[in-house]
Amino acid sequence: MKINQILILFLLFNFTNVMSIEPDEILKDAQLEQRAREISSVLRCMVCQNENIDNSNAGIARDLRILIREELVAGKTNSQIINFVHGKYGDYVLFKPPLKFYTLFLWISPFVIFFFLFLLFFRKNKID
């Protein structure tokens, strides 16, 4: 049991000592860099606990940041790049869940909850 836990730690920390975004990754073109930031902010670092790839120091996060910038320079659009990463890693990598039948309730929940409470409140009012 113990050794297994240690192994998982090894796996998670990935041992590459990079601290979030590095100066050599940053693009010269400020507009492209801005777009790169927009993309990274919605992508989850898979091995981290709950960080996007911009703030993570894991190796995979750095690889993805570099990939995003390479693709941007190659002229891809934001959604093309996000779709590529989504295709490789699945829904888990997106911090904003895509609209599918199993996430539908999540997206409509603010409206549902609001109307539920509204009903609850004004139904009470009607009684007397």
| Residues near another protein, by CB under 8 A | 4, 7-8, 10-12, 14-17, 19-24, 26, 41-42, 44, 46-47, 49-52, 55, 58-60, 63-64, 66-67, 85-97, 102-103, 105-106, 109-110, 113-114, 116-121, 123-125, 127-128
Q: Least distance to another protein from the beta carbon of 64, Å?
A: 7
Q: Least distance to another protein from the beta carbon of 105, Å?
A: 8
* Cβ closest to another protein, residue 8 vs residue 77: 8
* Cβ closest to another protein, residue 77 vs residue 109: 109
Contact predicate 45/34, CB 8 Å: no
Q: What is the DSSP-derived secondary structure letter of residue 71?
A: H
Residue with tokens 């390479």: 70
Q: Least distance to another protein from the beta carbon of 29, Å?
A: 15
| Joined tokens for residue 107 | 């997206």
Using only the alpha carbons of the chain, give its radius of gyration.
21
Helix (H) or strand (E) holding 73: helix 59-73
Q: Which of 14, 90, 18, 16 is nearest to 54 (CA)?
A: 18
Report CA dihedral (89, 77, 68, 20) to the nearest 10 degrees.
Answer: -100
Q: Least distance to another protein from the beta carbon of 77, Å?
A: 18
| Joined tokens for residue 17 | 């000592």
* Cβ closest to another protein, residue 29 vs residue 63: 63
* Cβ closest to another protein, residue 75 vs residue 123: 123
